[in-house]
Amino acid sequence: MSDDFYDLLEVERTADDGTIKSSYRRLAMRFHPDKNPGCDKSESKFKAISEAYECLKDPQKRATYDRYGKAGFQNGGGGGAQDFGGFADIFDNIFGGGRGRQAGPQRGADLRYDMEITLEDAFHGKATEITVEVSALCEPCSGSGAKPGTSAKSCTTCNGHGKVRAQQGFFVVERACPTCHGAGKVIADPCKSCRGEGRVDKQKTLSVNIPAGVDEGTRIRLTGEGEAGARSAPSGDLYIFLHVTRHAIFEREGTTLFARAPISFTTAALGGSIAIPGLDGVCHDIRIPAGIQSSKQLRQRGAGMPVLNGRGSGDLVIQVEVETPTKLSAKQKELLEAFRETETGDECPKSTKFFDKLRSVFDDII
């Protein structure tokens, strides 16, 4: 059996925290002594993967292991490095500071959930439900980790403090107790449902209220809905990250909504109006001034996205694109030919000015 922590957990050295945790749970279920009674090999394997996980789940311990291997955790070992728990811990122990590692069960991990919503959902807000798989409080033992009817006992190694001290030269180094792993208590008879962890994996259905005006990347926090803490420690939080799907008509920039609207060249020349249904459920009548040019933007105040956790709304901006007809009837061609015969050049001043300038520059050629 390999003694490399990554090999023991069957993960790559580049594996993220979630992959390591998932692999550990799978292997722990497979080699747990309760599932393999009397099998020394399984018990030895279970202890080895537990030791590996205890190291790799801690970013600081993992960094030390990646650099020095197991030698990094040996007092005065041949690796040339010792696990002091960081420079802050060294100075805390010298000067009596209280910034060392906290004893006792640690708060549960925070979780992330990515949710897709439509632009309409972002506009109006939405009440919905999500289902997540988390480590939840074990009900039979009420999170204590001890078999119902029993309780954890004070650790005799650290006398219930969760920490032990060791003299290393001029330094006194304080570490988490290796017996109780900082809990201060040990469980002689663990709960069969959670195997002494005080928590079990389960699916939870949660209600989520999405407020009006949210944008891409908006984060919603559900306090206490993350991973349950070990042995009745507080739970972490659940963070929901919102992702707004692309809309068929509207684009968004802050609280402003943008849309492109093609109009006929006769509407552009003579003026008129177009009807644009907004996300607010109102059909907005956009007035087109006579002689409007392509790419001109028209603004409808207050018809954009609502301000998140505030009052008022942004604007709706319509960019007109003048469309040149591609299919004309004989009658339409006749009318346009008649119009062309009456043109003086004043109808399209930009065009007239451009060609006048062109002639002045290239008079000898044109």
pLDDT of residue 103: 47
Q: Which residues contact 107 (CB under 8 A, 6 or more apart)?
A: 229, 233, 234, 235, 236
pLDDT tens for each residue of 105-159: 578 888 999 999 999 999 999 999 999 988 888 888 888 888 888 888 888 888 8
Q: What is the pLDDT of residue 99?
A: 41
Question: Cβ-count burial of 208 within 10 angstroms (0-12 exposed, 13-18 middle, 19+ buried)?
Answer: middle
Q: What is the pLDDT of residue 146?
A: 87
Name which of 50-54, 197-201, 216-220, 230-234 the model is least confident about: 230-234
Task: Note the pLDDT tens digit of each residue in 282-333.
Answer: 999 999 999 999 999 999 999 999 999 888 999 999 999 999 998 999 999 9
What's the CATH class of domain 1-83?
mainly alpha
Topology alike, domains 1-83 and 251-361: no
**354 vs 294, more confident:** 294
In the annotated binding site, the residues are 138, 141, 155, 158, 177, 180, 191, 194
CB atoms within 10 A of CB 116: 9
What is the distance between the alpha carbons of residues 256 and 319, in angstroms, rounded to a whole number? 13
pTM, two decimal places: 0.59
List residues forming the annotated binding site for Zn(2+): 138, 141, 155, 158, 177, 180, 191, 194
User: Above 60 in pLDDT, residue 84?
Assistant: no
Extents of the domains making up the chain? 1-83, 251-361
Say yes or no to pLDDT of 39 above 60. Answer: yes
- pLDDT at position 207 is 95
Percentage of residues in the chain with pLDDT exceeding 90? 39
Its CATH architecture, for the domain 251-361, is Sandwich (2.60)
For residues 42 and 7, what is the distance between their CA atoms, to the nearest angstrom? 16
